[in-house]
Structure 1
């Protein structure tokens, strides 16, 4: 679990107070990885507490994070700092959260980040790292994984060393999120709840968080009476609770298949989950029914026919990426999932998208 968390509107202003005691010395800077959507946005950037040799690296979140991107950032940091940094602070959405976690791990572990894609492969604790989400829904601020697209697969670095040491949850930072992105990342949270609550890994701990996140999602996406501030607060809490739920259980069919979409087509995670989930009545009938109501209420039109022109080779790659995520399938279907989820079954589902 994340060991320290601060929540509240305006809590971003406490960042200096929070990280200053963690500074190792004047030659060990803090590295701020910031979504480049905030470049030139003084409302946020002027409040980043820079001192000594601290650096701000602006990063585009237009594409899903890659192992090559992590390795390049680690190399840049090593070559431009006198000593190992005091910490990595990620400010942005799920992409930036995942990059911050991965970079903090790779600064203390040898090799390339692709070597750690999997479960519990990380040997050494990461350096101090802080997550400050500016969009809610992905749960990346709380999870024990950092999802990366590598040369051979899309798979997270799943380990006990991955979670942030500190998270700052300031709903004010989400005020300018575009509506479509708000919906897609919000639905990522909603799908976390559905997959966790309907999974074979469910337990009392994950269920308590999943049920609360599910309740908040219904209020958020079906209630007409929330103010903008109430909606921001609730989605940030739904994201946290949804992330906690899957941290102690697992996700399922939608996430496994969306990894395949992302690897082959570059589809962003949130919208990819929505595209897949829209076709999963067989696995989550009530959840998909409610999803379609939310989609209709907010006038969301999902892309169609994404897989129409794929070659057999591309289908095979997409299917293999999805099938590699065995814990997700076991949670969704059970230990005998391979009897149900065949390459032919997945190809049929992908062809509907």
Structure 2
């Protein structure tokens, strides 16, 4: 679990105070920031108190994080400094959260990030790392995984060293998120709840978090009675609780298939989950029905024809990537999941997207 959390409107302004005790012998803090803020520096940059050789690195999130991107950043930082940074600070959405976690891990581990895609493969503790989400829903701020696309697969670095040492949850930071993105990322949280609460890995711990996140999602996306400030604060809490729920259980069919979609077509995680989940009524009938109501309430039209031009080879790869995520299928369908799902079934669903 993340050991330290600060929550509340304006809490981002405490960043300098929070980081100060963690500075090691003049070693820099490296800030990885979503480049959406590059032209609005007063919102983020002017509130960061840089010291010494601290560094700001703006990161494009047009594509999801790649193992090659992690390797390049780690190599760059190692060449730039003769000592390990005091810490890695991620400021942005789920992609930046994952990138910050991965870079922090690889600063203290050898080889390529591809070698650590899987479960409990990390040998050494990550350098101190802080997550500051500027969009809510992915749960990346709390999870023990950092999802990366590698040359052969899309799979997280799942380890006890992955979670952030400190998270700052400031609802002010998500107030300018465009509505569609707000919805898609929020639905990532909702889908976490559905897949966790309906999974075979469910336990009392994950259930308590999942049920709270589910209730918050209903209030935010279905009742639609909250003002924006209240909704943003509650969405941050929903994201946190949803992330905690899957940290102690697992996700399921939608996430597995979304990974395949992202690996082949580059579809972003939040919208990819929505596109897939919309077609999974046979697996999550009540959850999908409620999802469709939420779309209607917020006037959301999902993209269609996403796989219309996908070749048979591409569909094969999508199915292969999805089926390679064994824990997700065990959670969704049980230990005998291979008797219930196969590549042909997945390809048939992909063709409907």
TM-score (norm 2): 0.99
Aligned length: 352
SS across alignment from 1:43 = coil
| Separation in structure 1 between the aligned mates of residue 197 and residue 211 of structure 2, nearest angstrom | 7
Q: Give the 5 Å matches for 1:159-174.
A: 159-174=159-174
Which 10-residue stretch deviates more, 264-273 or 305-314?
305-314
| Separation in structure 1 between the aligned mates of residue 223 and residue 77 of structure 2, nearest angstrom | 46
| Counterpart in the other structure of 2:123 | 123
1:24 paired with 2:24, answer: yes
| Counterpart in the other structure of 2:142 | 142
* Cα deviations by residue, 1:72-112 (Å, 9 ceiling, x for unpaired): 11111111123110000000000000000000000011000
| Separation in structure 2 between the aligned mates of residue 82 and residue 74 of structure 1, nearest angstrom | 13
| Counterpart in the other structure of 1:113 | 113
- The structure 1 segments of at least 4 consecutive aligned residues displaced by more than 2 Å after TM superposition are none
| Separation in structure 2 between the aligned mates of residue 104 and residue 225 of structure 1, nearest angstrom | 40
SS across alignment from 1:125 = coil
| Counterpart in the other structure of 1:293 | 293
Deviation at 1:126, TM superposition (A): 0.3
| Counterpart in the other structure of 1:77 | 77
| Separation in structure 2 between the aligned mates of residue 230 and residue 45 of structure 1, nearest angstrom | 25
In structure 2, the gaps of 5 or more residues are none
* Cα deviations by residue, 1:140-186 (Å, 9 ceiling, x for unpaired): 00000000000000000000000000000001000100000000000
| Counterpart in the other structure of 1:304 | 304
Deviation at 1:330, TM superposition (A): 0.2
| Counterpart in the other structure of 2:326 | 326
* Cα deviations by residue, 1:289-348 (Å, 9 ceiling, x for unpaired): 000000111111111111121111111111100001000000000000000111111111
SS across alignment from 1:52 = coil
| Counterpart in the other structure of 1:345 | 345
| Counterpart in the other structure of 1:5 | 5
SS across alignment from 1:64 = coil
Deviation at 1:224, TM superposition (A): 3.0
| Separation in structure 1 between the aligned mates of residue 147 and residue 49 of structure 2, nearest angstrom | 28
Q: RMSD in angstroms over aligned alpha carbons? A: 0.6
Deviation at 1:24, TM superposition (A): 0.5
* Cα deviations by residue, 1:191-244 (Å, 9 ceiling, x for unpaired): 000000000000000000000000000000012321110000000000000000
| Separation in structure 2 between the aligned mates of residue 298 and residue 133 of structure 1, nearest angstrom | 23
SS across alignment from 1:24 = coil
TM-score (norm 1): 0.99
